[in-house]
């Protein structure tokens, strides 16, 4: 084996924690997909959805603009491209 094997980057990372939510991952079946009309997508794993909702932001998971607002207050750690 090679010593310089790079760690595989998640294909569809959760914007809350960075865990992979792509097909075959443990979070795929219950992930939240947020899509804007222009086709950009963001993904949230079930644990981050629960954390955001427990913080009182039930309605804030419907658009990328909503997720930008959650980013501004620190409830998600990154934004999609």
Q: What is the pLDDT of residues 26-75, one digit of tens each?
A: 999 999 999 988 888 999 999 999 999 999 887 778 888 888 888 888 88
Half-sphere exposure of 28 (CA within 13 A, CB side): 8
Contacts of 33 (CB under 8 A, 6+ apart): 41, 42, 43
What is the value of pTM for the model shown?
0.80
């Amino acid at each position: 084996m090679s010593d310089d094997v790079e760690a595989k980057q998640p294909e569809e990372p959760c914007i809350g924690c960075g865990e992979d939510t792509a097909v075959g991952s443990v979070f795929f079946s219950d992930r939240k997909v947020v899509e804007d009309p222009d086709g950009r997508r963001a993904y949230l794993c079930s644990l981050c959805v629960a954390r955001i909702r427990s913080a009182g932001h039930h309605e804030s998971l419907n658009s990328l603009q909503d997720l930008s607002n959650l980013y501004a207050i620190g409830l998600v750690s990154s934004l999609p491209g």
